[in-house]
Amino acid sequence: MDKIIIEGGVPLKGTIEVSGAKNAALPIIAAALLTEEKCIIKNVPNLRDVVTMIKILRSLGVKAQMEQDCVTVEAKRCNQFVADYKLVSTMRASICVLGPLLAKQKQARVSMPGGCVIGQRPVDLHIKGLRALGAQLKIEHGYIVAAAKVLHGNNIFLGGAYGSSVLATANVMTAAVLAKGRTLIENAACEPEVVDLANFLIKMGAKIKGHGTPIIEIEGVKRLGGASHSIIPDRIEAGTHILAAAITGGALTIKKARVDHLSAMLDKLKEVGVSVVAEQNALHVKRKGSVLKPVDITTLPYPGFPTDMQAQMMAMATVSDGISVLTEKIFPDRFMHVSELNRMGASVFLEGASAIVKGVKRLSGAPVMASDLRASAALILAGLVAKGKTEVSRIYHLDRGYERIEEKLIKVGAKIKRVKE
């Protein structure tokens, strides 16, 4: 098992290029199951989760391979409908094979998904949406078992206790494109990754309107064809590198970042005292002053502040000049990074679904342990600004969502290395 060692205190300077979005790539790769024709998916990040998704497709009899940043999928010989526990249990997004399998194979048996431990993430909206299309679903021996001879369009409300669901929207959308008649998804997720999936499906021949809004309209078609598509840049990776510049007091150019996908975060960075200037295909980031100001943040579904940036913003808040409050409305238990930041000298305490952060002048390096993907990134950010050496263990979480992060940081001056534990 690897760990990352960081010597903090170096302002980062230079250029970092953002990879393709993991959360767009995974459902798009799964959607290639909807056709027997070849699909070519470009700008795919080389991540553990992507490798897992390719393995899942291969286990279904599908020809799938990755060369550099390009994934090719040909589901002509897709002869299985069981997504096995050994693969699915490692990654939450693997559930997005459920909709395509049900639509194309008329049945699916998908293990209950795994992934990061960030709080309860039920599958009720997936089941509700697919049942509304006429599927029979049950949970049996740890698997979601689904069957439907014919799917029929319907009006579906996908509201949950914490708002819309990206993966549930993806599953319903990929099933509805081959259903008979019209489907209206209300309270659909509006995230850019959902829009990217819809654009891919449209290239395959699907009839979809309203993607990027809370109401998505789908007119089912008899068949879909192959398509070529390039994945959008990863807005969470872009946000993480923006904070790396801010927290270290450096100046970074973030290439391939989409400013229109980062509005909520960039708005908060203005309050903190960070300058972000958009120019062509890049963002130029630096602090406006010598200190960072405190900030209050509430995570919400897109276009609100993303839950996937909460931990990284907390890392920055630990060294701000004042008291910040971070409230988690998506995953109220997503605070496992708090104890590790406090090990580094931060002053954070929890009050319900909120974290109260009292900024300190300096963090100090310490051995810490990553609990999930975004917590891993937060600890690396903290390590970049901390005095002395920080050792981040259990970084296999990091490899699920950040492509070559230590290599990218080394190029802009970070003293960071990966070693075997």
Distances (CA, A) of 287 to 247, 270, 273, 334, 401: 9, 10, 6, 28, 26
| Active-site residue list | 116
Sign of dihedral through CA atoms 89, 95, 98, 100? negative
**Nearest by Cα to 238 from 6, 5, 23:** 23
Distance between CA atoms of residues 157 and 332, nearest Å: 23
Q: Locate tokens 């194979």: which residue?
A: 105
CA 123 vs CA 88, 118, 320: distances in Å: 14, 15, 38
State the number of CA atoms in the 13 A half-sphere of 64 facing the CB: 25
Are the C-beta atoms of 370 and 376 separated by less than 8 Å?
yes
User: Cα–Cα distance between 188 and 215 in angstroms, integer?
Assistant: 6
Question: Which runs of consecutive H residues, i.e. helices, occur in 280-337?
Answer: 310-317
CA distance 32 to 117: 28
Which residues contact residue 135 at a Cβ distance below 8 angstroms, ignoring those fewer than 6 apart? 102, 146, 147, 148, 151, 175
In terms of DSSP bridges, do strands 13-17 and 251-255 run parallel, antiparallel, or are they unpaired? Answer: parallel
In 232-280, which ranges are continuous DSSP H helix? 235-248, 263-272
Taking Cα atoms as reference points, which of 16, 8, 10 lies closest to residue 242?
A: 16
Adjacency order of strands within the sheet including 2-7: 367-369, 389-393, 2-7, 415-420
